[in-house]
Amino acid sequence: MPHHTKTITISTNGKALHEFTDEVEQWLASIDIETGLLTLFCRHTSASLLINENAASAVQRDMLRWLERIAPEHDGYEHDTEGPDDMPAHLRTVLTGASLQIPVVDGRMVLGTWQGIYLAEHRANPHRRQVVAHVMGE
């Protein structure tokens, strides 16, 4: 069964959701997999991956505000080596996850009508994040 991999680099400018669905779709279109399973893996502990609505930008803003409430800065964390957003970023990553699995049918991801793939940047400063894409199938 063939396997293909690609590393996708996403430049961030601080806390935000960065949609990269199109980049994954373009990569899948360039390889010869009709039916299979796609795995996306974020190589960081202070950024994460999620699938969410990509039609209404209010969803993204609400998601970020919710994460801020669930894992606030300046909450007395022992781990603050890289600043007050360090430990909250790790907690937000635990909540949202480091990997996604998406079925591939007819050479395309099987996403819902309004679903998009996002990298969630949980740190205040800009970063270059890497997401490893791996697909296997036939």
- Could you say which DSSP state residue 80 is in? -
Distance (Å) of CA 133 to CA 93, 122, 128? 18, 21, 16
pLDDT tens for 32-87 read 899 999 999 999 999 999 999 999 999 999 999 999 999 999 999 999 889 999 99
Name the architecture of domain 3-75+98-137. Sandwich (2.60)
Query: What is the distance between the alpha carbons of residues 3 and 32, in angstroms, rounded to a whole number?
Result: 10
| Domain ranges for the chain | 3-75+98-137
Overall average pLDDT of the 16-27 stretch? 98
Tell me the three state secondary structure of residue 87.
helix
DSSP assignment string, 89-131: HHHHHHHH-SEEEEEEETTEE---TTEEEEEEE-SSS--EEEE
For residue 15, what pLDDT is reported? 97
First to last CA, the chain: 6
pTM, two decimals, is: 0.95
